[in-house]
Amino acid sequence: MPRYIARRLLLAVPTLLMVLTVVFVLIRIVPGDPALTILGDQASQEAIRELRTRIGLDQPLYVQYADFLGHAIRGDLGNSMVSGQPVLKQVWEVMPYTAELTVAAIVLGVVIGLPCGVLAATRRNRFPDYVTRIVSLLGLSFPSFVSAILLILVFAIYLGWFPVITASDLSHPLTRMRNLVLPAVCLGAIMAAYVTRVTRSSMLAVLGEDYVRTARAKGLPRGVIVWRHALRNALIPVSTVVGLYLGILIGNSVLVEVVFARPGLGKLIVGALSQRDYTLLQGLMVVYAFIIVLVNLLTDLTYALVDPRVRLP
């Protein structure tokens, strides 16, 4: 196991270096002069030159690249061009909100998705299976901003149970919970749909295995076979999928945060886009990619931990 972990960690290093390179290139594909784009056509030559110097655009590309890499590796993602604050500080300020939303969505997704998936698999090609399959496919088809708007319409505007937009002061835990419910349900429904489908197909594969037949032949009760013997093994691919779909979840959280006017990484990136804050954008891209690479790494390691076959060369 330690050798596997070391190998996997080493593999993540070139990926992260390439991620940094891609971010550097992406932010610099702006047609024309970024300084001019930021300041607008009316800006004086003086102001443009000053901004170019401030953000290092007057340096040759390779110097900019080395500078960016050197700082990023040391954990310095620069300062926002608009607020002047360090990018990482701004990220840390909103990170808890995105993290709590993502965790809540995953918990909801697993709590709803697992039993639904097991139900569908154990009643394959019968009514509960058809309903679960159609409903989960419908769940996957909902663009998160559409479901967010529908949730707001029903539960915030018509029924008035929840706030339409997130409260500006979230310091009270109850207010914070109340403001989390609708966004979490919105993302959790998508997650539940994914988990249901993966659990179903994974359970179907496991239920056809020899050891399940043996358990049945031994006369074990059906519940014990399904929940103790089959589900335990079916969970391995499910755990991987939960990790892999975290990327989709984080992407969708952008839209949900925008619709619910909720603080978070997504709202920060949309704000940076509208204000053309390139350093903040660059930093946020690195943060997003870092999260995905980290989650993939953890998913692989978890997989290796629960399934020893993975570690074999």
Q: Which residues bind other proteins (CB under 8 A)?
A: 14-15, 18-19, 22, 26-27, 29-31, 134, 137-138, 140-143, 145-146, 149-150, 152-153, 157, 247-248, 250-252, 254-255, 258-259, 269-270, 273-274, 281, 285, 288-289, 292-293, 296
Q: Which is nearer to other proteins, 275 or 302 (CB)?
A: 275
Contact 26, 68 (CB under 8 A): no
Residue 147's closest CA among 253, 273, 266, 271? Answer: 253
- Kindly state the smallest distance separating residue 154's Cβ from other proteins, in Å: 10
Q: Output b/e per residue, 252-290; b: 16+ Cβ within 10 A.
A: bbbbbbbbbebbbbbbbbeebeeebbbbbbbbbbbbbbe
Query: Considering beta carbons, is residue 123 or 276 the nearer one to other proteins?
Result: 276
How many helices (H) and strands (E) the chain has is answered by 14, 0
Taking alpha carbons only, the member of 191, 199, 210 closest to residue 236 is: 199
The smaller minimum CB distance to other proteins, of residues 149 and 220, is found at: 149
Min dist. Cβ of residue 90 to other proteins (A):
16
Instruction: Report which residue type is found at 116.
Output: C
Q: How far is the CB of 292 from other proteins (least distance, A)?
A: 5
Looking at residue 124, the DSSP 8-state letter turns out to be T
The residue among 176 and 299 lying less far from other proteins, judged by its C-beta, is 299
Q: Between 28 and 178, whose beta carbon lies closer to other proteins?
A: 28
Nearest approach in angstroms of CB 113 to other proteins is 17
Name which of 12 and 220 has its Cβ closer to other proteins.
Answer: 12
User: Which DSSP string corresponds to 268-299?
Assistant: HHHHHHHTT-HHHHHHHHHHHHHHHHHHHHHH
Least distance CB 109 / other proteins (angstroms):
17
Alpha-carbon span 180 to 103, nearest angstrom: 11
Would you say 35 or 285 has its CB closer to other proteins? 285
All residues at 6 or more sequence positions from 226 whose CB lies less than 8 Å from its CB, including other chains: 118, 122, 203, 207
State in angstroms the smallest separation of the CB of 153 from other proteins: 5
- Kindly tell me the burial class for residue 28, based on how many C-beta atoms sit within 10 Å of its own C-beta (0-12, 13-18, 19 or more): middle
CB of 28 to other proteins, least distance (A): 8
Widest distance between CA atoms in the chain: 85
